[in-house]
């Protein structure tokens, strides 16, 4: 054993007596990733002015409704409270549009657009909201944001575990994928606001992780039960989680076709998963339908004046808007990233698609060079496309789709991009190439926060 290895060995041995130290040493990559996630999220929390995360007044209004009415709101039947308008005036909500002051009538009757969201996120935040009673509304808002950092940190933890599962021999991918998520400007921005998107992304990533565990190594009813619980909770967080159901059905169908000897077990598992998930979330939708007579409130915001996917994608700016608001346009602050940045991001993702194809061919040619299994590429690409199509459909039906609607698929997205950019290289190069990619992402992230965003807030 070399001196260096011996020193490391001694270092571990000395720590054996302390469980916490030993755990930290063994999980130091995870711990450092989570510390970084907490730091980045905290910076965005501090930088973002009150009410400037997307729909933040509406989400905060939901918490106020829970507190004051002691009931879960119904879409179209919940309204903003005057103290929220008061705060908008005090903090000059319209200042972002250049107005020197904001003057909202405190008697305004305005429906809370977040009232149609399921209650889980707000229920989880509610104890923290109660704890801050007696403080100014802005202070409560910032305290809620700080508490919400936990969801972003947990998301990064799950992403790391998932990456370890998918790439057990590639530590650069294990750390690189969650790192790209931390450095994703819009994801961190959204993660810093009072809103349910990050919890949704956490549940969807956890769902995919557990689904992968089920496929790879643990086809048990207990795992199926756990997946069902995640699906139920995810659907109780935001309705767009329902895309997990077709994803799960497709995966179960594929397993049924491939693993003929496990068909009965798989059918039972599917039944448990769907049954448990519906038991957890079904009551909310039944209640809404019984009370309102509809699941989604009617109404549409027409932005593009088209009625089909093709025209939406190729005859409007929809794709550019989605791309910009996926990477970082911080629309509630009217702070878009520069066109050239978006252009380069698009070029890189297109390049990574070619690289991904090359990586797949390389893996088919020499198994030991394989960077990623074809079934993972197929599943992840399918999930991302499914979310893009769902956002398109939302645009056609309701209007106002944004890139953050793709965030549940953010782990698949960065996995495919990173593998596409580096997976076609010889394995010995991939680590350093990943370091280059994450360095570029870090520069983008710092530039977006410190040069583009912070100097424009007020």
Partner 1 sequence: MRLGRNTWLGLLAALLVAAAAAVWLLVSGFPLMDRFQFDCNNTLKPMAEGHELVQTFVAPEDGLSRVDLRFYENDTVGEQDLVFELWDVLGSNPDGTPVLGEKIRESRVSSRDVALFWMHRFEFEPVADSQGKTYAMRITSSAPDGAALRLRASNKDVYDGGAVFQDGKVEDADLSFVLFHEAGVWQALDRISPFRPFPLNSAGLFVAVFLLAAAAFGWLLWYIAGGFSADTATSSDSRSHDSSRSCGDEPPPGGPEGGIGG
**Site residues (CB under 8 A) for partner 1, limited to 347-386:** 363, 367-376
Nearer Cβ to partner 1, position 115 or 149? 149
The interface with partner 1 within residues 329-348 (CB under 8 A) comprises 334, 336, 338-339
Residue number, 126 or 447, with CB nearest to partner 1: 447
State which of positions 15-34 bind partner 1 (CB under 8 A).
15-16, 22-23, 25-27, 29-30, 32-33
Cβ atoms of 180 and 417 within 8 Å: the answer is: yes
The answer to whether the CB of 266 falls within 8 A of the CB of 255 is yes
Binding flag, residue 174, partner 1 (CB under 8 A): yes
- Contact stretch for partner 1 (CB under 8 A) within 289-297, 305-313, 348-356, 442-450: 442-450
Is 159 a residue that touches partner 1 (CB under 8 A)? no
CB of 233 to partner 1, least distance (A): 22
Contact call for residue 43 and partner 1 (CB under 8 A): yes
Cβ–Cβ under 8 Å, residues 211 and 251:
yes
Q: Are 64 and 79 in contact (CB under 8 A)?
A: no
Query: Measured between alpha carbons, how far is 396 from 401 in angstroms, rounded to an integer?
Result: 9
The one-character DSSP state at 94 is G
State the CB neighbour count (10 A cutoff) for residue 419. 28
Stretch that binds partner 1, among 111-119, 223-231, 239-247, 447-455 (CB under 8 A): 447-455
Q: What value, to the nearest 5°, has the Cα angle with vertex 145 and ends 140 and 149?
A: 145
- As measured in angstroms, the least distance from the Cβ of 118 to partner 1 is 29
How are the residues of the chain apportioned to helix, strand and coil, as percentages rounded to the nearest 5? 75, 0, 25
Name residues contacting partner 1, limited to 177-216 (CB under 8 A): 179, 216
Distance CA 174, CA 149 (A): 22
Residue 319 engages partner 1 in binding (rule: CB under 8 A): no
Burial class (CB in 10 A: 0-12, 13-18, 19+), 107: exposed
Looking at 62-70, 160-168, 229-237, 248-256, which segment touches partner 1 (CB under 8 A)?
A: 160-168
**Does 254 engage in binding with partner 1 (CB under 8 A)?**
no
Name the minimum Å distance from CB 292 to partner 1: 36
């Amino acid at each position: 054993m070399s001196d260096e290895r011996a020193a490391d060995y001694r270092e571990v041995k000395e720590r054996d007596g302390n469980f916490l130290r030993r755990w930290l040493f063994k999980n130091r990559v995870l711990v450092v990733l989570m510390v970084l996630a907490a730091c980045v999220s905290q910076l965005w929390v501090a930088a973002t002015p009150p009410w400037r995360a997307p729909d933040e007044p509406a989400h905060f209004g939901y918490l106020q409704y829970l507190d004051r009415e002691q009931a879960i709101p119904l879409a179209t039947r919940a309204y903003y409270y005057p103290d929220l308008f008061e705060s908008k005036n005090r903090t000059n909500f319209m200042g972002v549009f250049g107005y020197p002051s904001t003057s909202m009538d405190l008697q305004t009757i305005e429906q809370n657009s977040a009232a149609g969201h399921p209650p889980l996120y707000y229920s989880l935040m509610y104890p923290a909201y109660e704890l801050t009673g007696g403080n100014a509304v802005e202070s409560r808002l910032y305290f809620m944001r700080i508490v919400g950092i936990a969801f972003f940190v947990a998301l990064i933890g799950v992403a790391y575990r998932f990456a370890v599962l998918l790439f057990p021999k590639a530590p650069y991918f294990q750390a690189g994928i969650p790192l790209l998520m931390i450095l994703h400007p819009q994801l961190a921005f959204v993660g810093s606001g009072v809103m349910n998107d990050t919890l949704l992304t956490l549940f969807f990533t956890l769902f995919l992780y557990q689904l992968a565990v089920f496929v790879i190594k643990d086809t048990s009813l207990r795992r199926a039960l756990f997946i069902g619980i995640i699906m139920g909770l995810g659907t109780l967080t935001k309705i767009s989680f329902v895309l997990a159901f077709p994803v799960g059905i497709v995966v179960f169908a594929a397993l049924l076709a491939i693993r003929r000897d496990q068909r009965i077990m798989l059918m039972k598992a599917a039944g448990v998963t769907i049954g448990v998930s519906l038991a957890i979330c079904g009551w909310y939708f039944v209640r809404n339908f019984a009370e309102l007579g509809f699941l989604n409130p009617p109404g549409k915001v027409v932005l593009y004046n088209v009625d089909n996917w093709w025209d939406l994608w190729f005859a409007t700016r929809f794709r550019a808007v989605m791309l910009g608001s996926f990477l970082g346009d911080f629309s509630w602050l009217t702070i878009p990233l520069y066109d050239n940045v978006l252009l380069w991001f698009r070029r890189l993702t297109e390049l990574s698609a070619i690289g991904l194809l090359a990586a797949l061919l390389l893996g088919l040619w020499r198994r030991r060079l394989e960077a990623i299994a074809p079934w993972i590429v197929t599943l992840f690409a399918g999930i991302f496309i499914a979310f893009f199509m769902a956002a398109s459909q939302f645009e056609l039906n309701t209007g106002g789709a944004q890139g953050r609607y793709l965030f549940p698929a953010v782990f698949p997205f960065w996995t495919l991009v990173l593998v596409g950019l580096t997976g076609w290289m010889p394995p010995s190069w991939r680590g350093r190439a990943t370091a280059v990619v994450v360095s570029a992402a870090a520069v983008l992230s710092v530039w977006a926060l410190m040069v583009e965003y912070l100097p424009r807030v007020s």
